[in-house]
Structure 1
Amino acid sequence: MKNCRGFTTIEALAVFSLFLMVSVTILPGLLHIKMEDYQLLIKRQVLSQLHDDLIEIAYGKQQENPESENYQDTTMGVKVTYTFVNETDLTKGCAKWQYAKQEDHEVCLYAYPAKQ
Structure 2
Amino acid sequence: MKANGFTLIEVIVASAILMSVITTIVPIISTLNKEQQRLSDRRIIVHTLHDEMQPFLWSATSETSSKFTKNVNDQQVAFQFANEDHYLKGCAIWQNVKYAEETICLYGIHAS
Q: What TM bracket, shorter-length normalisation?
A: 0.7 to 0.9
Q: Separation in 2 of the partners of 1:66 and 1:105? A: 23
Residue 14 in structure 1 maps to residue 13 in structure 2: yes
Tell me the residue number matched to 2:95. 98
4+ residue runs over 3 A deviation? 3-7
Tell me the residue number matched to 1:34. 33
Question: What is the identity percentage for the equivalent residue pairs of Structure 1 and Structure 2?
Answer: 28
* Counterpart among 51, 74, 78 of residue 75 in structure 2: 78
Aligned length: 112
Task: With the length of structure 1 as denominator, give the TM-score of the two structures.
Answer: 0.85
Superposition RMSD on alpha carbons, in Å?
1.9
- Runs (5+) with no aligned partner, structure 2: none
Residue 89 in structure 1 maps to residue 86 in structure 2: yes
Task: With the length of structure 2 as denominator, give the TM-score of the two structures.
Answer: 0.87
Shift of 1:66: 2.7
